[in-house]
Homo-oligomer: A and B are copies of this chain.
Amino acid sequence: MTDASQTAVAARPLRRDAERNRKRILASAAVLFAERGVDIGLDDVARHAGVGVGTVYRRFPDRETLIDELLDEKTARVESLAREALGADDPWSGFAGFLEQALELHAEDRSLKQALLVPTRGKERLAAARARIEPLVAELATRAQDAGELRPDFRFEDLPLLVEMVAAVSDATHETEPGLWRRYARLVIDGLATSRTGPGDLGADALDREHLVDALCTSARER
């Protein structure tokens, strides 16, 4: 893979001011995408970066180019998480640990879900990242199942929808109670284990009624 600053191969380097603006745009997009997802107005990105809209659209002909460039660093973190997990001693803690860490990345960055899960998002780079990650998690799941710890009726195709589920919680509550998703992640992971006994510990407390109302209103407003 060549240097990250040259999108097209052997493109003539940008003028100094142009390169500076390009960096600013990427930095602003990273912040805003993480916070509000990849479908925000590029006008907002331009304003945040202190450049005109025209500049954004000139540098990134469409939203997907911008996404492709921005998110491939983030997906690389998911990939290395999966590789580490494959090296873990215990197959179950490898699998469950990976899942929890991946969910943490999703909770911190809304755009990650859209980039990793939606196959039409981004361009070649993102597609390649997805293709690298998939066999890794499939292997993680198989090992945990062979060890008898992950329920046998789980299939690795379930993962995107599990992410979708927990992400629905973090989207709804990240303003009100940013760590609450862990409670529901724990619940899901408990449901994935072959067996379980005893009271368990969901970790983070449930929301009280007042905060719950806040959260549901906020998430409905955001939509």
Contact = CB atoms under 8 A, between A and B. Distances in A.
Nearest to A212: B157
A167 interface: yes
A85 interface: no
A192 B206 CA distance: 14
A39 B221 CA distance: 11
Interface in A95-137: 114, 117-121
Number of copies: 2
A85 to B, nearest CB: 21
B192 A187 contact: yes
Given A191-B187, A191-B190, A196-B195, A209 B168 contact: no
Contacts of A121: 220
Contact of A165 (B118, B154, B169, B213): B169
Contact of A223 (B39, B158, B184, B213): B39
Contact of A212 (B160, B166, B217): B160
Contacts of A120: 217, 220
A151 B190 CA distance: 11
Contact of A191 (B117, B188, B201, B206): B188
A166 B165 CA distance: 6
Interface in A154-195: 154-155, 157-158, 160-162, 164-169, 172-173, 180, 183-184, 187-192, 194-195
Contact of A161 (B153, B161, B184, B201): B184
